[in-house]
């Protein structure tokens, strides 16, 4: 029986894990080493060794400086470990730090300020409580509206009519962890369309007997039918699994229920390939189907999927392609199904708006019926809001619906986004999950100040060496809220001085600064969520130079065009 002390230890361990995950997921490894994303292994090793010479804890005797150096040194080691390994680097480039299984970090106190320590503790406590609740219940909801826009694309004005709602639906779900191996779920749905309404309820039970055997059971009911279904998955060896999925469906008023059975054999075909063959059989009508599928993974996520289904009802070939970008957590999915009845291409693009909010836009087209549907989806935490619009269902209107319903609105949106950039940014801020996310992290600020103090001696030595050869001396460097004009940069109120940090990075009278500058040691983000720039004034060959660059652009100095005349 677990004691209160045991439970406290478990919570403490969970808090530490959350602390580490939050810190690692927000770190840019390329910026830590000050290398570009196309850097070679040789460049990574060279930068890593240079950083170690500056931040190795053994170089410092003062205890506070030693602790600061230790914190930065641990992050530099982790960055080098990931970027020097081709496999880990590919995962990091695709998914970011969240795609890595983080291990090896030691939890270190990032702040000596009592207020910061208390604030961090309260934050982790709230985060832990929310995470525990979500892990136990997994609540979710979905709201869907479907509308008809076909009438506005009619050629003749007298045949045009206003859009109208085709239907809407709402669903709520919960998935509770009952024991260490059992989960129980419940899903309720209601929908209405064309003056008619209906609903359904689905109960589920999932149990993992061990790491090689998993079973699931489902019971569902609608006004017209009910069903019982199950799933049993068994691993055979390290590369093969067998999956059995029986279901019993009964339509109210029908003489007999229909028993359907699906049997699948899945096998690993290599480190990134997986093949599956599925046999389906319906007892009531005697229909059978055979599906074979090949899946190629990249960074443990699907990249390509190809399948062929042979069935008297619908023989088809289907292909799916996935593309992901780690920078904004974006995902593009394109697919196409081809059968004897026609073809159905589709695509869906999803990207992150904030930490817990994502937006997506999709388009699907069916030929020869020429059914064109556009979809917009907003995911906020565990809640999803979706809007579907039918643009066309006739071949004669397909071209007009494609031009006026898809192409022109897309270009108009891109143009308006660039013209009204600041109002658009203010609109996007409405989707921020927490107001605190737009505030400066006091611990990051304190850590940056500690690093600057640590680097001051190194910067002074470099200045002395550069002065002897007429080399590169950073006279002023500001990072933060800035706007540039034709003649000079205009700084906002929220900027930080990064002169010492940049001077300590000078080597052989050269300095290269990558993008994601707020992750460079000695930097922090003074204005979260706003545009930032880096302004540098420097002396080279006893002549003054100046350069201002946006946050997302790398800069290399000295350059002749930077000279001030």
The reported pTM is 0.60
- Nearest alpha-carbon partner for 166 in 358, 393, 378: 393
How many Å apart are CA 289 and CA 480, to the nearest integer?
Answer: 61
- Nearest alpha-carbon partner for 119 in 433, 446, 355: 446
pLDDT of 133 = 56
pLDDT of 473 = 93
How many Å apart are CA 476 and CA 376, to the nearest integer?
Answer: 47
How many Å apart are CA 92 and CA 86, to the nearest integer?
Answer: 10
pLDDT of 167 = 93
- In sequence order, the β-bridge partners of residue 545 are 538, 563
CB 193 within 8 A of CB 146: yes
Q: How are beta strands 140-148 and 383-393 bridged, if at all?
A: parallel
pLDDT of 104 = 32
Tokens encoding 537: 């004034």
Domain ranges of the chain: 16-110, 138-268+348-430, 442-562
Tens-place pLDDT, residues 94-108? 666 665 643 333 333
Tokens encoding 306: 């190809």
Q: Which CATH class, in words, describes the domain spanning 138-268+348-430?
A: mainly beta
pLDDT of 494 = 82
Q: How many CA atoms lie within 13 A of 411 on its CB side?
A: 6
pLDDT of 199 = 92
CATH of 16-110 given 1.10.287.110, 2.60.40.420, 3.30.750.80, 3.40.50.620: 1.10.287.110
Neighbours of 379 (CB within 10 A): 18
Tokens encoding 501: 């940090």
pLDDT of 227 = 95
pLDDT of 13 = 42
H or E segment at 482? Answer: strand 473-484
Neighbours of 219 (CB within 10 A): 14
pLDDT of 116 = 55
pLDDT of 10 = 38
CB 526 within 8 A of CB 557: no
Question: Which residue is it, tokens 């023989």?
Answer: 315
Three-state DSSP at 451 gives helix
Question: Which residue is it, tokens 């040691």?
Answer: 521
Using only C-alpha atoms, what is the Rg of the chain?
29
| Surface-to-core class of residue 447, CB atoms within 10 Å of its CB (0-12 exposed, 13-18 middle, 19+ buried) | buried
pLDDT of 2 = 40
- Nearest alpha-carbon partner for 13 in 128, 126, 130, 114: 128
pLDDT of 293 = 95
Q: Extract the residue ranges of the chain whose pLDDT is less than 70.
A: 1-26, 94-137, 327, 429-440, 482-492, 515-516
Tens-place pLDDT, residues 190-239? 999 877 889 999 999 999 888 789 999 999 999 999 999 999 999 998 88
CB 474 within 8 A of CB 536: yes
């Amino acid at each position: 029986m677990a004691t209160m002390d045991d439970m406290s230890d478990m919570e403490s361990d969970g808090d530490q894990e959350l602390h580490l995950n939050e810190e690692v997921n927000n770190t840019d490894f390329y910026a830590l080493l000050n290398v570009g994303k196309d850097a070679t292994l040789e460049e990574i090793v060279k930068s890593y060794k240079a950083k170690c010479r500056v931040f190795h804890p053994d170089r410092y005797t003062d205890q506070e400086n030693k602790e600061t150096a230790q914190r930065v040194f641990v992050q530099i080691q982790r960055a080098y470990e990931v970027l020097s390994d081709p496999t880990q680097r590919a995962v990091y480039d695709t998914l970011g730090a969240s795609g890595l299984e983080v291990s090896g970090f030691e939890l270190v106190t990032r702040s000596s300020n009592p207020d910061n320590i208390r604030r961090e503790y309260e934050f982790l406590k709230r985060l832990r409580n929310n995470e525990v609740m979500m892990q136990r219940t997994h609540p979710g909801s979905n709201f869907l509206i479907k509308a008809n826009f076909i009438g506005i694309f009619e050629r003749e004005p007298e045949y045009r009519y206003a859009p109208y709602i085709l239907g809407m639906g709402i669903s709520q779900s919960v998935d509770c962890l009952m024991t260490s191996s059992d989960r129980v779920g419940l899903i309720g749905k209601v929908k209405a369309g064309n003056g008619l309404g209906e609903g359904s309820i689905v109960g589920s039970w999932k149990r993992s007997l061990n790491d090689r055997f998993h079973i699931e059971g489902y019971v569902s009911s609608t006004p017209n039918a009910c069903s019982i279904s199950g799933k049993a998955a068994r691993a055979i060896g390290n590369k093969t699994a067998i999956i059995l999925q029986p279901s019993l469906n009964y339509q109210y008023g029908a003489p007999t229920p229909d028993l359907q059975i699906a049997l699948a054999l899945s096998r690993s075909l290599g480190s990134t390939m997986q093949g599956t063959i599925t046999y389906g059989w319906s007892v009531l009508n005697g229909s059978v189907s055979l599906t074979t599928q090949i899946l190629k993974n990249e960074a443990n996520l699907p990249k390509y999927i190809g399948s062929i289904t042979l069935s008297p009802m619908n023989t088809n070939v289907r292909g799916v392609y996935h593309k992901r970008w780690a920078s904004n957590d974006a995902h593009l999915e394109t697919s196409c199904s081809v059968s004897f009845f026609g073809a159905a291409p589709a695509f869906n693009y999803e990207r992150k708006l904030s930490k817990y909010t994502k937006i997506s836009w999709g388009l699907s087209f069916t030929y020869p019926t020429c059914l064109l549907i556009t979809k917009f989806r907003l995911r906020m935490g565990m809640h999803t809001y979706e809007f579907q619009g039918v643009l066309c269902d006739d071949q004669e209107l397909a071209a007009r619906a494609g031009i006026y319903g898809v192409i022109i609105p897309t270009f108009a949106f891109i143009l308006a986004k660039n013209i009204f950039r600041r109002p658009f940014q203010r609109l996007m801020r409405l989707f921020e999950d927490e107001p605190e996310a737009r505030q400066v992290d006091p611990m990051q600020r304190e850590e940056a100040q500690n690093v600057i103090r640590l680097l001051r001696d190194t910067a002074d030595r470099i200045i002395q060496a550069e002065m002897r050869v007429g080399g590169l001396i950073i006279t002023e460097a500001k990072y933060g809220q800035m706007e540039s004009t034709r003649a000079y940069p205009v700084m906002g109120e929220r900027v930080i001085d990064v002169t010492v940090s940049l001077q300590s990075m000078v080597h052989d009278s050269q300095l290269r600064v990558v993008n994601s500058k707020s992750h460079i040691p000695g930097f922090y983000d003074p204005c979260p969520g706003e545009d930032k720039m880096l302004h540098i004034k420097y002396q080279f060959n006893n002549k003054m130079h100046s350069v201002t660059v946006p946050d997302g652009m790398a800069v290399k100095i000295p350059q002749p065009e930077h000279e001030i005349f």
